Chain A
Amino acid sequence: MKPRQKRLAIVAGILASVGVAAALVLNAFRSNLVFFYSPSQVMSKEAPVGRTFRLGGLVKAGSVHREGVQVQFEVTDTAKTIPVRYQGILPDLFKEGKGVVAQGQVGTDGVFVAREVLAKHDENYMPPEAADALKHAQAANEKIGSTVLKESDK
């Protein structure tokens, strides 16, 4: 091969491998994005069925039941509540009334089956996703509250 052709071949090779890599990366990226939903969103069927997502909120007080390595608890954003099932050891900072993020899928029975439960590393720390869910729910509550008030005014 002439030097010119060689250079062309090298450039073409690099472009091809970068192209393949980019396609591969983007495809993997798209299929592995994990979206976040609040209990309210899950209840209004916004969350996908049969696809993994993250659910965040507070662990409802008094909702944790343990049976051997099986655990059940409820995640709430104060407006709506979703039952969660999990098998295994919960993180150290998992506590009733504290923030939690669970990753898993919703089954046909409406129970969220968690593969992973994340409670972050600091006592006073609220996972931002969970904080967000609470904020949204509160905003919605206030709106409802104010309309109720207005109606009672009449």
Chain B
Amino acid sequence: MIPELGQIALLLALAVALIQGVVPLIGATRGRHDWMALSRPAAQTHFVLVVFAFIALMSCFVRNDFSVLYVASNSNSSLPLPYRIAGVWGGHEGSLLLWLTMLSIWMLAVAQFSRHLPQAVVSRILAVMGFISVGFLLFMLTTSNPFDRLSPVPPDGNDLNPLLQDPGMVAHPPMLYMGYVGFSVAFAFAVAALIGGNLDATWARWTRPWTTAAWSFLTVGIMLGSIWAYYVLGWGGWWFWDPVENASFMPWLAGTALIHSLAVTEKRGAFKSWTVLLAIMAFSLSLLGTFIVRSGVLSSVHAFATDPKRGLFILLFLAIVIGGSLMLYAWRAPKVGLGARFGLVSRESMLLANNVLFVVATLSVLLGTLYPLLLDALGLGKISVGPPYFDTVFVPLMAPAVFLLGVGPMARWKEANLPDLAHRLRWAAVIAVIAALAAQWLAGRITFGTTLGLLMAFWIVAAVATDVWERVRPSGGGFGGAIGRLRLLPRSMVAMMAAHLGVAAFAFGVSMVKTYEVERDVKMAVGDTTEVAGYRFTFRGIHDLAGPNYEAVQADVDVQRGSGTALTLHPEKRVYRIQRTPMTEAAINPGPTRDLYVSLGEPVDNGRAWIVRVYVKPFVDWIWGGCLLMALGGALAASDRRYRARQTQDSAQAALTAGARA
């Protein structure tokens, strides 16, 4: 019964989404307030229906209802409850439902938190989102229905892919999808503005908090995926340039360009059509990401069923969304106007350079990801593009971006003075060079790549510090006055600095771990010891262990530094009972300056010894700490009271002008 109710809820949601898309949109063109007034209740109803369907599917998982095909293929009665819940988004159909749920949440948020926006604008925004929902609902109901029944009912399910039975995988997809779908808000704002023709600084201010919030979610989502790859795949890498990872990274890059370009549009009214184009690009890449990961095009853990009907629908949907919005753009954007002029050296020009670099980076990832797929689809052979490609492309693109990251926030809008900037930042540059060399000298080895990476990290820190110093410089009131002014810094400023420091922490972590990590594969019998980077690893033995739905062997490996106290790590080798899949469970002792990482290979010499992989990874956690800091910056920026305060000011102004007109 419950699956059928969920199914009915989805059908009703489709009807509601259609109404939400069509009626208020026509109402906005004709100026019919009663038609436009439909969009808010429609978004609310849509939310209730979709969440109902989502909970219905979840309850099928929790109650082990294996008469539902999707549950039977992604769950098992011995699966622990948290993973039964996460199983909802463990496969293709459920992932789509998760996507839709996120969309309905964002729609509800737009409906609730945009009461100050003109009714026509809100109607158009919600209409665009309604149409996106229609597309997804049609896709689900026609090709990937999560509520399909299975007959005869199997006694038990096929279990969730053991790789996904992990806390990281419980949180990663919802976060990632919050980010992906969040860009649909920016997209809807952009398309609505193109239709309505009211593309201006106010529009940018409305769009900014939504875009920044989505970007923060996406950052956390990608971070969780990276952490998961680090400890679950058992190879100790944190990024593989796998097509699946690239699929989530491309919208992030485009989104990063977008939030910077929006800043210019809001403050200076420039880059308007460019910003709109970026909003379209970010959401299109999110769609592409969702689909190439879930459609089975890619050979990877994320890809599930392959069904030509799905592929066709996806292509059609992408063509309508991307092609349609680009056509609208081509039609309406020339009327937008250029906005304020700016000098060759100015904050605008630096943000423009940032945008160019990020877009080129996005396109180069796109090339490396899609070209092999395209070649394969055309039957021209199978190739792959290796990580070296992405590495060689990324470093030269990001190095100037990071350099500008230090200069940009200190440059003035409209027209900045180059010698003046150089003068203000001279100490930052000196400190960055000294710190980069000193850090390597302390670590014991100096290389060109590391120098570049650390230079980026310290340059950001020094430039941000200079910026803060200039803003609070004690020009009176002494130290106490400086602290007082520090607290008066606007929240958006602090947010930007936090995010930029996040980039520094990230660059620092990457440089350190790339250069100074030590990896060793060794054969170890009981009592054997190996020394890696000053840590002594001793293999103490191995014993059996039974988990809730797997059998495992667990090893005890003592780690000791010098004569300090030993800590014991417990790497495991598991075999999941249902799918008979072996899994390596690495044991990690995290720390602010290093991770100790041990994973089990395979038994040798008839089980008397094991191949053991031992890593010491300096500062690897800084990579994710940096991502968190970026996301935190985004969250701070999105929550800035300024957006709400100015909005009331705007509406007051609007009321005034309206009054004056009347």
What is the interface of chain A, defined by CB distance below 8 A to chain B?
1, 3, 6, 9-10, 13-14, 17-18, 21-22, 24-25, 28-29, 32-36, 52, 54, 66, 68-69, 87-90, 92-93, 103, 120-123, 125, 127-129, 132
B522–A69 touching, CB < 8 Å: yes
Q: Is the beta-carbon distance between A21 and B383 smaller than 8 angstroms?
A: no
A121/B389 in contact, CB under 8 A: no
Contact flag A92-B582 (CB < 8 Å), given A35-B381, A128-B382 = yes
Kindly supply a per-residue 1/0 record for chain B positions 357-392, scoring 1 wherever the CB is within 8 Å of any chain A CB and 0 otherwise: 100100110011001000000000111111011001
B352, A10: Cβ atoms under 8 Å? Answer: yes
Q: Are A32 and B360 in contact (CB under 8 A)?
A: no
Determine whether the beta carbon of A89 is less than 8 Å from that of B360.
no
> Are B521's CB and A34's CB within 8 A?
no
* Beta-carbon contact of B299 and A29 below 8 Å: no
Structural contact, A6 and B344, CB atoms closer than 8 A: yes
Contact yes or no, B580 A123, CB < 8 A: yes
Taken together as a complex, chains A and B put the C-alpha atoms of A123 and B392 apart, in Å, by 34
Assess whether A93 is in contact with B352, with CB atoms less than 8 Å apart: no
Closest to A52 in B: B386
- List 29 A–B pairs whose Cβ atoms lie within 8 Å, in order of A's numbering: A10-B344, A14-B352, A21-B357, A21-B364, A22-B360, A24-B396, A25-B360, A28-B388, A28-B392, A29-B367, A29-B385, A32-B389, A35-B382, A36-B381, A36-B384, A52-B386, A68-B523, A69-B523, A88-B601, A92-B583, A92-B584, A93-B582, A120-B300, A120-B301, A122-B301, A123-B580, A123-B581, A127-B299, A128-B299
Chain B interface, >50% SS class? mixed
Whether A32 pairs with B382 at a CB distance below 8 angstroms is no
Contact with A along B73-111 (1 / 0, CB 8 A): 000000000000000000000000000000000000000
Q: A88-B613, A120-B299, A121-B300 are in contact. List 20 more A-B contacts (CB 8 A).
A: A6-B344, A10-B344, A10-B349, A14-B356, A24-B392, A24-B396, A25-B393, A28-B388, A28-B392, A29-B389, A32-B392, A33-B384, A33-B385, A54-B384, A68-B604, A68-B611, A69-B523, A89-B599, A120-B300, A132-B382
Least CB separation from A37: chain B residue: B382
A66 to B349, CA, bound (A): 59
CA distance A3 to B346 in the complex (A): 14
With a CB–CB cut-off of 8 A, which chain A residues contact B382? 35-36, 54, 128-129, 132
Taking the closest CB of chain A, its distance from the CB of B350, in whole angstroms, is 12
Q: In the assembled complex, how far is the CB of residue B597 from the closest CB belonging to chain A, in whole angstroms?
A: 13
The reply to whether the CB of B526 lies closer than 8 angstroms to some CB of chain A is: no
Least CB distance from B159 to A in Å reads 11
CB distance from A48 to the nearest CB of B (A): 13
Interface of A is mostly: mixed
- What separation, in Å, do the CA atoms of A121 and B381 have in the docked complex? 23
The answer to whether A9 and B344 touch across the interface, beta carbons within 8 angstroms, is: yes
> B633: CB under 8 A from chain A?
no
Knowing A69-B521, A89-B611, A92-B584 touch, does A32 contact B601 (C-beta < 8 A)? no
Q: How far is the CA of A133 from the CA of B344 in the complex (A)?
A: 56
- Enumerate chain B residues within 8 angstroms of A120, measured Cβ to Cβ: 299-301
Q: B613–A32 contact, CB under 8 A? A: no
Does B353 count as interface, using CB distance less than 8 angstroms?
A: yes
Give chain B's interface residue range (CB within 8 Å of chain A): 35 or more
Mark contacts of B276-303 with chain A using CB atoms, 8 A cut-off: 1 yes-contact digit, 0 otherwise.
0000000000000000000000011100
- B429 near A: Cβ within 8 Å? no
**Cα-based distance from A61 to B396 in the complex (angstroms):** 46
Q: Are A92 and B581 in contact (CB under 8 A)?
A: yes
* Residues of chain A with a CB closer than 8 A to B301's CB: 120-122
Question: A90 to chain B: which residues have CB within 8 Å?
Answer: 601-602
Q: Do the beta carbons of B388 and A32 come within 8 Å of each other?
A: yes
Q: In the complex, A123→B234 CA distance in Å?
A: 17
Indicate if the CB atoms of B383 and A33 lie closer than 8 Å: yes
B521 in contact with A6 (CB, 8 Å): no
Name the residue on B nearest A6 (C-beta): B344
User: Which 6 residue pairs of A and B lie closest in terms of their CB atoms, listed nearest first?
Assistant: A32-B389, A89-B601, A121-B301, A36-B382, A28-B392, A92-B582
- Name the A residues within 8 Å of B356 (CB-CB): 14, 17-18
A22 vs B584: C-alpha distance in the bound complex, in angstroms?
A: 41
B196: CB under 8 A from chain A?
no
Residues of B within 8 A of A89 (CB): 521, 599, 601-602, 611, 613
B484 at interface by CB-CB < 8 Å? no
Q: Report if B568 contacts A (CB, 8 A).
A: no
Cβ–Cβ < 8 Å partners of A103 in chain B = 386
Report yes or no: B384 in contact with A18, Cβ–Cβ below 8 A. no
Contacts of A10 in B (CB 8 A): 344, 349, 352
Which chain A residues lie closer than 8 Å to B33 at the CB level? none
Q: Which residues of A contact B579 (CB under 8 A)?
A: 123
Q: Which residues of B contact A128 (CB under 8 A)?
A: 299, 382
Q: Closest Cβ of chain A: how far from B552's Cβ, in Å?
A: 13
Shortest beta-carbon distance, A122 to chain B, in Å?
A: 7
Docked-complex contact B234 and A92, CB < 8 angstroms? yes
A121-B599 Cα distance, complex, nearest whole Å: 17
How near does chain A come to B346, taking the closest CB pair, in angstroms?
10
**B496 at interface by CB-CB < 8 Å:** no
B341 in contact (CB, < 8 A) = yes
Known contacts A17-B356, A120-B300; is-contact A34 B163 (Cβ 8 Å): no
Q: Which listed residue (A17, A35, A66, A127) contacts B604, Cβ 8 A?
A: A66
Q: Are A34 and B368 in contact (CB under 8 A)?
A: no
